[in-house]
Structure 1
Amino acid sequence: MAGKDTGSTESNRVLIFDTTLRDGEQSPGASMTLDEKLQIAELLDDMGVDVIEAGFPIASNGDFESVREVTRVVKNAVVCGLARAGAKDIERAAEALRGAKRGRIHTFLSTSPVHMKHKLQMEPEQVLEAVVSSVTHARNLVDNVEWSPEDATRTDHDFLCRCVEAAIKAGATTINIPDTVGYSVPAEYGALIAMLRERVPNIDGAVISTHCHNDLGLAVANSLAGVANGARQVECTVNGIGERAGNAALEEIVMALKVRQDAMPYETGIDTTVIARASRLVAAVTAFPVQYNKAIVGQNAFAHESGIHQDGMLKNNQTYEIMTPESVGITKSSLVMGKHSGRHAFREKLRELGYELGQNAMEDAFTRFKDLADKKKLVFDDDIVALVDDEVARGSEKIRFVSLRVIAGSTGPQEATLELDVEGARKSVTATGSGPVDATFNAIKELVPHDASLLLYQVHAVTEGTDAQAEVSVRLDEAGRTATGRGADTDTLVASARAYVSALNKLLVKRQRHAPGAERAVSAASE
């Protein structure tokens, strides 16, 4: 399970540590199913991410299984499990990582005065002793250990240096410096990394890492300041998701280093052409939409409406673009597929968009594509992406959408006739509601009785035009457990039904996971 890090303070190689599956999932409402986590993990591995933090194994049986399953699908990246300083946490992480080709335990303990006094209720010497014992225990179980002083940016410098030195001496191969509450500014954070490099005598024995939160909108800037001062690992998430205001965004870190080689002569191993697809997948899985003006992956990132800008772009795209859309995996093609396209062309288009589907999934996706092509005059790449992401997300379901017929209009009540396949049995019902969506959801509740409440209903058009596909996200809550589903179709109501059914399927899985006798979840602490 050993994994030798390729970064060092002296090299220009920056390791990308992705924590979308761990810190990103801690965003309220962003919980993911096992299948969704595996989809994301495989894509991150294909992208060239160096370390994938797959979860917090002791938090729940679900997190433990997620980490264990990620170790089975990841081929190249180091798979990391988070653990608090306690022996049980560390041993649970080691157990989850047992099958990893390259595994890492990431253990942490608070070091700031406010955390030690109010959270840990421990004296500094007790904390220092716990750092040594936890890192030593972890190193006895795996060769690759990362240690983090939680709330490092508000920690006394002398005490921070003592803890870092002790952690490295105990066997830590990576030292992560978290800006846990997003309090730091770039000059301050960069100086903190420089101070550690100057004052900790054995600092060359470990890779220095950054983990910056975005409470002041400075997570990316702080991370880059850390790199400029000797950090050679950056912890980040796709789309910058994470607790509160989120984390440093992977796509922004990677493209900043790629575009500004003159100012920051550092390299990553990331295939940047996969960035857009990763962004779309994470946004769809979490139902967290990417803001239009988001750097790198926002809908407007490569859009130009101003006449002056358009004129410049027509003459030379470098007048207003510092990178090409293609460099991050955004294509410019319009109508490239239609109802006359065959399987071979469709498969090649999927490969171009970054998808490799098995035969059954390919046939299902192709059937839906042909249905879509019959409905739409123009089929765009984004239509195909939405269609395939929706198909892949379904997996094995107890409830399957079959058909929907809706009567709507200005006079009510609106009526929905719905047909579902529930555990192999075909069922149908007609229900009414205060609108067509309400009627559709009432019909689902009649066929599959449940007490879940609707937390989110979100619709957006995948492409332009009145025949555009609608992509719908639905989030349900049942007894404190949330699940998000998504669906795509040219009919918004059909997409809504598919999304609701998808969320309901995920809730059924969570019901089983939290059935009586299941291990009680341990609340996950954040960095």
Structure 2
Amino acid sequence: MKKQKLIIFDTTLRDGEQSPGASMTRDEKLRVAKALEKLRVDVIEAGFAVSSPGDFASVKAIAETIKDSTVCSLARAKNQDIDSAAEALKGASSGRIHTFIATSPIHMKYKLQMNPDQVFEQAVSAVKYARNLIDDVEFSLEDASRSDFDFMCRVIEGVIGAGAKTINLPDTVGYGFPEEYANTIGRLIESIPNSDKAIFSVHCHNDLGLAVSNSLAAVMKGARQIECTINGLGERAGNAALEEVVMAVRTRKDIFPVETRIETIHITSTSRLVSSITGFPVQPNKAIVGANAFAHESGIHQDGVLKFRETYEIMSAQDVGLQTNKIVLGKLSGRAAFAARLEELGTHFESKTEMNEAFAKFKDLADKKREIYDEDLQALVSEVQLDESNGDQITLEALEVISKTGRPPSATLTLKYKGESYDSSSEGDGPVDAAFKAIEKLAKSDTELKLYSVNAVTAGTDSQGEVTVRLEKGGRIVNGQGADTDVLVASVRAYLHALNLIQNPDRLHPQLDGI
């Protein structure tokens, strides 16, 4: 029997960005969107166009760039939101407006302060309004897993009649349980007279660790779209992880009556890109994309895998883009080998200048490290593209740190801003603290440091350190990243990157409402 299509709706750029500190620049969003298109995601939710000028610009740029995926913008069930989404999507080859309103008693009473009749009227009105502006409209019943069944039937029948082509039933707070949630989806499809006129979709949060389970259970009861994110990124405990959903469907073909069009060999590179840009590291034991996902330490496991891989592996590393045979780059590698490996990793430069700068940084790194790994290349590319995208930025010219037993560490640095150089020195509780205090003597940013995190990009003492610095100012949260074989240099670069981001007035945190 021919399998039905399961639509993969990726919301990394919208719901994933609602993770505190995970907001991205327009150029960063474009890089992720291009990676998602290469992954062959069906729908890319590019943002919440009305939430800020920066988000509007991002949705617009992605809509004008992406050709092989539908580009979607979220909009509350308000004409102003819908107008903004439609305007941002004008240049899309295939565009979708995703509008929503809460339908649970607790949300209607305390958040919306509306009665069910008012919610029904606004839902139907919003879909009709959106349908006049664009052909593809999706409607979500926020907090569906805590909504009254009969009321959901009424709303869904109404919005399908008004022109909604996709009906999404979010488990907004991660309250659902697989059997219960899936049975509700099945009952809705059976009970609503015009349910055959729409695709039913699920959007599950991971508060109880059940997002993927709930999503897959719903597929067995008729859902044909799953909304998910790369690495399970998302507010609170995150969303259903795209890589887990896709590989579960692919691996258990004997169970699932559906298939996706995802090119799974690009899963690992996309995961690493999102992790690098957001500064959210992937835990080593994370399914599919974690560093240990295909590692075997137990002697019994190693023996079994060597004799016959399937004894302990239900999928191959190559299926998700981990290559066992690959070119090892080093200081003798030329531009062609460098460019070829970046092409394999899905990295494209917008200009020859960017490529030249990346190659120069590669050669510099190769002088410090004997072998250059894929993770090193991705960290290097992120550094180059951050430099290109920040305009009038503060940059590091020189750094000297003295750390000696029995005396406070001190840092002396030179920063460059708009063509001028500035010197500063400070002592601190540690070398990183001293460097940050020296920066603040000049910047006087009035920000609060919320997170300082260091991760080794690869194994070995010559590994690059990838540093994430999270700053908050006036309710705005930004992440800065930096990478270098010298962790102190990486730390200063990450702090300066965060400062450059927080100076941008369009970098507003996009969380207005969540589904």
TM-score of the superposition, structure 1-length normalised? 0.93
How far the C-alpha of 1:334 sits from its partner, in A, is 7.8
SS state at 1:420 partner: strand
Separation in 2 of the partners of 1:165 and 1:99? 31
- Aligned counterparts of 2:282 and 2:72: Cα–Cα separation in 1: 27
Q: Equivalent of 2:405, from 398, 401, 410?
A: 410
Cα distance, 1:345–1:523 mapped onto 2, change above 3 Å: closer
Structure 1 residue 443, shift from structure 2 partner: 2.4
Residue 131 of structure 2: SS of its match in structure 1?
helix
| Paired residues of 2:203 and 2:227 also in contact (CA < 8 A) | yes
Q: Residue by residue, what CA displacement relative to the aligned partner does 1:92-150 show, whole Å, maximum 9, x if unpaired?
A: 22122222221111111122222222222222222222221111111111111001111
* 1:206-355 matches, cutoff 5 A: 206-332=198-324, 336-355=328-347
User: Which position in structure 2 is the counterpart of 1:507?
Assistant: 502
Q: 1:257 to 1:197 in 2, by over 3 A?
A: same
The AA in structure 1 aligned to 2:239 is N
Cα distance in 2, alignment partners of residues 227 and 445 from structure 1 = 52
Aligned length: 511
Q: Is residue 61 of structure 2 the alignment partner of residue 69 of structure 1?
A: yes
- Partner of 1:105: helix, strand, or coil? strand
- Point out the more displaced range, 322-331 or 134-143: 322-331
User: Is the partner of 1:509 in helix, strand or coil?
Assistant: coil
Q: Quote the RMSD (CA, aligned, Å).
A: 1.8
The worse-fitting range, judged by mean Cα deviation, of 13-22 and 390-399 is 390-399
Shift of 1:201: 1.1
Preserved contact between residue 58 and residue 522 of structure 1 (Cα < 8 Å) = no
Give the AA of the match of 2:333.
S
Residue 451 of structure 1 corresponds to 446
Compared CA separation, residues 127 and 513, structure 1 to 2 (3 A) = closer
Q: For residue 522 of structure 1, report the CA deviation from its aligned partner.
A: 8.5
Do 2:35 and 2:346's aligned partners in 1 also have CA atoms closer than 8 Å? no
- 1:276-312 Cα offsets, whole Å, 9 max, x none, are 1111122222222211111101111111111111111
2:465 is aligned with 1:470: yes
Q: Among 133, 137, 142, which residue is 2:129 paired with?
A: 137
Q: Kindly tell me: are residues 501 and 139 of structure 1, through their superposed partners in 2, closer, same or farther at Cα, counting changes over 3 Å?
A: same
2:111 counterpart residue number = 119
Letter in 1 for 2:512: A
2-structure distance, mates of 1:348, 1:29: 33
Partner of 1:48: 40
> Do the aligned partners of residues 396 and 389 (structure 1) sit closer, same or farther apart at CA in structure 2, a change above 3 Å counting?
closer
Residue 486 of structure 1 pairs with residue 481 of structure 2: yes
Deviations 1:131-179 (A, max 9, x none): 2111111111111100111111222222211111111000001111111
CA distance in 1, matches of 2:452, 2:417: 23
Instruction: State the one-letter code of the partner of 1:281.
Output: L
User: Is the contact made by 2:55 and 2:510 (CA closer than 8 Å) also made in structure 1?
Assistant: no
Q: Which amino acid aligns with 2:184?
A: L
Q: Within 1, Cα distance between the matches of 2:65 and 2:326? A: 34
- Distance in 2 separating the partners of 1:474 and 1:290: 16
- Map 1:373-392; keep pairs closer than 5 Å: 373-392=366-385
* 1:335 Cα offset (Å): 7.4
Asked if 2 retains the 8 angstrom alpha-carbon contact of 1:406 and 1:415, the reply is: yes
What per-residue deviation string (whole Å, max 9, x for no partner) do you get for residues 246-277 of structure 1? 11111101111111111113211111111111
What are structure 2's unaligned runs of at least 5 residues? none
Letter in 1 for 2:484: D
- The one-letter amino acid of 2:372's match is V
- The change in CA–CA distance for 1:100 and 1:323 in structure 2 (over 3 A counts) is same
Q: Deviations over 1:186-241 (max 9, x none)?
A: 11122112112211111111111111111111111111111111111110011111
Contact 1:110–1:116 (Cα < 8 Å) also in 2: yes
What SS is found at the alignment partner of 2:49?
A: coil
| Matching of residue 372 in structure 1 with residue 365 in structure 2 | yes
Matched, 1:429 2:396: no
Q: CA deviation at 1:431?
A: 3.1
Of the three residues 87, 91, 97, the one matched with 1:105 is 97
For the residues of structure 1 that align with 2:451 and 2:32, how far apart are their CA atoms? 23
- Distance, in Å, in 2 between the alignment partners of 1:414 and 1:120 is 54
What SS does structure 1 have at the residue aligned with 2:449?
strand
1:22 aligns with 2:14: yes
Alignment deviations for residues 413-446 of structure 1 (CA, whole Å, 9 cap, x no partner): 3222322221122333333323211222122223
Partner of 1:524: 512
Residue 333 of structure 1 and its aligned partner are, at CA, apart by 5.2
**Percent of matched pairs sharing the same residue:** 56
Unaligned runs of 5+ in 1: 1-9, 515-520
CA contact (8 A) 2:76 2:100 kept: yes
Deviant stretches of 4+, over 4 Å: none
Counterpart residue identity of residue 349, structure 1:
R
Tell me, yes or no, if the aligned pair for 1:401 and 1:498 is still in contact at 8 Å.
Answer: yes
Contact in 1 for aligned 2:20/2:477 (Cα 8 Å):
no
Instruction: Specify which of 38, 42, 59 is matched with residue 51 of structure 2.
Output: 59
CA contact (8 A) 2:103 2:147 kept: yes
